[in-house]
């Protein structure tokens, strides 16, 4: 019950309610973009400061390896399941959406861990960056193959251009760059940046989640007329993928904090990075489908129920 009384979650629920009431409340796009970049920069700094204190260890390497493994396995499994329900293009787009990650879900989990005093490693911010691109690349390659099989005249997306776009994405670069700044500046940098990266963080997150609530309410309508099995997938995938991550975290002996973050990364679905790429790289896929499922169902499910559920499970199983 305590998680529902968290101000950030309450603002998210308020945003959903305002959207469903057709209110004219909205956050201007430039401000929403700024909030997103602020949260990534603050997260990167916090991770860098933590890495400066702990250094690079074998456990960190194993955690990042687990993240990369999930980044490949989850979209591959997703495509095999979704191909039974959808055409190749929609299946590839949705596999990318659910195989990639949500930075806001991760950031909200970090905030929940901080409030409950559960320790975690700063390197998990690097896991967030590493897990974003593999699913996108895999989906575009599957779409190119589908075009060849169908004899389509549409030009395939260049793998070289896709790799460049994925690896130089501004949000990812900011996250990783902030981590490097945090590592290099260490304790002195942490003290200097605390008013920016720590004191403002909770308020900025609440404001951003208000915007996310408004966005989620607008995309729920895109689910009308869809197969009930797709709606089951939108709610079942976070549980299945989170369960895979939990098993992997247990095998590697990860602590509850790092385990909870790995679980929520696997359980999340992208609604910013992947749709932006897929819209151009796989125009045959339906945006209302991957936007509606990820932002209209999976994101609210994870923010309201998934984070407290998986955090509690991680404490019991990995603690």
Nearest C-alpha neighbor of 307 from the set 253, 270, 257, 271: 257
Q: Give one DSSP letter per residue of 33-93, joined into a string.
A: HHHHHHHHHHHHHHHHHHHHHH---HHHHHHHHHHHHHHHHHHHHHHHHHTTTS-HHHHHH
Contacts of residue 306, Cβ cutoff 8 Å, sequence gap at least 6:
105, 238, 242, 264, 267
Average of per-residue pLDDT values in the chain: 87
Using CA atoms, how far apart are residues 130 and 203, in angstroms rounded to an integer? 27
Which of 168 and 99 is assigned the larger pLDDT? 99
- The average pLDDT across 99-107 equals 91
Q: What is the pLDDT of residue 1?
A: 46
pLDDT of residue 319: 81
Place of tokens 């055409």: 87
Burial of 173: CB neighbours in 10 Å, binned 0-12, 13-18, 19+: middle
Q: In terms of Cα–Cα distance, which of 204, 139, 137, 186 is closest to 164? A: 137
| Mean pLDDT on 84-110 | 92
Do 216 and 295 form a contact (C-beta atoms < 8 A)?
yes
Please say whether the beta carbons of 34 and 189 come within 8 A.
no
Q: Are 222 and 285 contacting, i.e. CB atoms less than 8 angstroms apart?
A: no
* Residue % of the chain over a pLDDT of 90: 46
Domains defined along the chain, listed by start: 29-148+156-318 (1.20.1530.20)
% of the chain surpassing 70 pLDDT: 92
User: What Rg do the C-alpha atoms of the chain give, in angstroms?
Assistant: 19
Question: Does residue 248 sit in helix, strand or coil?
Answer: helix
């Amino acid at each position: 019950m305590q998680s529902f009384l968290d101000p950030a979650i309450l603002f998210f629920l308020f945003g959903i309610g305002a959207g469903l009431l057709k209110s004219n409340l909205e956050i201007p796009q430039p401000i929403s973009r700024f909030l997103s970049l602020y949260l990534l920069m603050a997260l990167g700094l916090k991770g860098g400061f933590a890495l400066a204190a702990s250094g690079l260890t074998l456990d960190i390497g194993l955690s990042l390896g687990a993240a990369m493994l999930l980044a490949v396995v989850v979209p591959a499994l997703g495509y095999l399941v979704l191909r039974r329900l959808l055409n190749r293009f929609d299946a590839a787009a949705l596999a990318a959406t659910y195989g990639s990650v949500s930075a806001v879900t991760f950031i909200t989990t970090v905030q929940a861990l901080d409030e409950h005093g559960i320790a975690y490693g700063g390197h998990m911010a690097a896991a967030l960056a590493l897990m974003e691109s593999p699913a996108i690349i895999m989906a575009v390659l599957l779409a190119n193959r589908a075009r060849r099989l169908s004899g389509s005249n549409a030009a395939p997306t260049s793998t070289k251009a896709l790799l460049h776009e994925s690896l130089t994405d501004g949000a990812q670069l900011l996250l990783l760059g902030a981590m490097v700044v945090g590592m290099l500046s260490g304790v002195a940098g942490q003290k200097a940046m605390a008013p920016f990266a720590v004191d403002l963080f909770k308020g900025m997150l609440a404001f951003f989640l208000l915007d996310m609530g408004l966005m989620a309410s607008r995309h729920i309508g895109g689910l009308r007329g869809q197969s009930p099995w797709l709606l089951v997938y939108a709610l079942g995938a976070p549980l299945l993928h989170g369960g895979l991550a939990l098993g992997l975290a247990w095998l590697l002996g990860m602590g509850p904090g790092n385990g909870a973050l790995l679980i929520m990364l696997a359980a999340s679905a992208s609604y910013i990075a992947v749709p932006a790429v897929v819209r151009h790289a796989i125009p045959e896929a339906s945006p209302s489908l991957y936007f509606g499922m990820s932002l209209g169902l999976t994101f609210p499910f994870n923010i309201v129920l998934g984070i407290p559920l998986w955090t509690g499970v991680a404490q019991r199983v990995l603690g």
